[in-house]
Amino acid sequence: MIIYILFMLKRVRLSWITLSLLCCGALLGVPTHAAGDAPTPGSEGDTLTKEDRRMAYLVYKLLDKNGKIKGANLKRGEKLFYQNCRGCHGVDGHRIDFTPNEQQSTYMGQRAREDMPTFWYQMNFGDETREGMEPFYDEIELDEMVDIAGYAQTLP
Ligand code: HEC
């Protein structure tokens, strides 16, 4: 359900931050959940999908109030980007234009800086509606993704 909403909002490119906050409200069940009250991951009461979890992790643990990734190791991020992303996106992220039908091109660095939730979702889960971008959820460790995301925000 939440993911469905995420997709709808993504289509119309509404603010991911607004929607993330909405999600967080839903995930927290607003004030009723005391700390020990959350369902055990994987149990019947645990209705979060892995997508929900990954997006919530981004919002709660990684983003500062300006939408920047906290605590990334940029040196390692650069290396991982080189190994995993450069082949298609180019060393500076400019080989693929994300908005080919618009007058203004959008590249990796800009997307990562201005819309990290979209970046994060795409890196983790790919994009069924577009060819070529595979999900990296099972390929790259979470802590490595943090470094890639932080590094991507430094690209031109
Ligand atoms: C096999 C080629 C390939 C590799 C490897 C690859 N990508 Fe992509 N990526 C694509 C293609 C193709 C698209 C879709 C471009 C389009 O349709 O606009 C895409 C789209 C994206 C988008 C969506 C941007 C947007 O907002 O529309 C992000 C973010 C992204 N890639 C990040 C990454 C990262 C990070 C890595 C490395 C971990 C990576 N990609 C590796 C081919 C690749």
Measuring from each residue's beta carbon to the nearest atom of ligand 1, which residues come in under 6 Å? 84-85, 87-89, 96, 98, 111, 118-119, 122-123, 130, 132-133, 136, 148, 152
Asked if 82 and 145 sit in the same domain, the reply is: yes
Comparing 8-12, 107-111, 113-117, 150-154, the range with the smallest average pLDDT is 8-12
Q: 110 and 54 in one domain?
A: no
pLDDT at position 38 is 77
Domain that holds residue 112: 74-152
Pair (81, 131) in one structural domain: yes
What distances in angstroms separate CA 63 from CA 4, 17, 87, 112, one per listed residue? 22, 10, 27, 12
Beta-carbon-side half-sphere exposure of residue 97 (alpha carbons within 13 Å) = 7
Which residues on neighbouring strands pair with residue 9, listed in sequence order? none
Q: Which atom of ligand 1 is nearest to the CA of 84?
A: 37
- Give the model's pLDDT for residue 27: 55
Dihedrals φ, ψ of 63, to 5°? -85, 135
Give the pTM. 0.81
pLDDT in tens, 95-147: 999 999 999 999 999 999 999 999 999 999 998 888 889 999 999 999 999 99
Residue 20's pLDDT is what? 52
Co-location of 87 and 54 in the same domain: no
Q: Are residues 57 and 82 in the same domain?
A: no
Residue nearest to atom 37 of ligand 1 (CA): 85
Of the pLDDT bands very low, low, confident and very high (cuts 50, 70, 90), residue 14 is very low
Q: Is residue 81 part of a domain?
A: yes
Is 58 found in the same domain as 80? Answer: no
Specify whether 107 is located in the same domain as 132.
yes
In a domain, 116, yes or no: yes
- Asked if 86 and 24 sit in the same domain, the reply is no
Q: Which of 3, 5, 144 is nearest to 81 (CA)?
A: 144
Residue 68 domain-assigned?
A: no
- Pair (78, 54) in one structural domain: no
Same domain for 103 and 146, yes or no, is yes
3-state secondary structure of 100: coil
Give the pLDDT of residue 30. Answer: 43
Indicate which residue's Cα is closest to atom 22 of ligand 1. Answer: 122
Number of domains present in the structure of the chain: 2
- Residue nearest atom 13 of ligand 1, based on CA coordinates: 133
C-alpha 78 – ligand 1 centre gap (Å): 16
**Integer distance in angstroms from the first to the last C-alpha of the chain?**
35
pLDDT per position as a tens digit, 34-68: 456 778 877 888 888 999 999 999 999 999 999 99
- Would you say residue 10 lies in a domain? yes
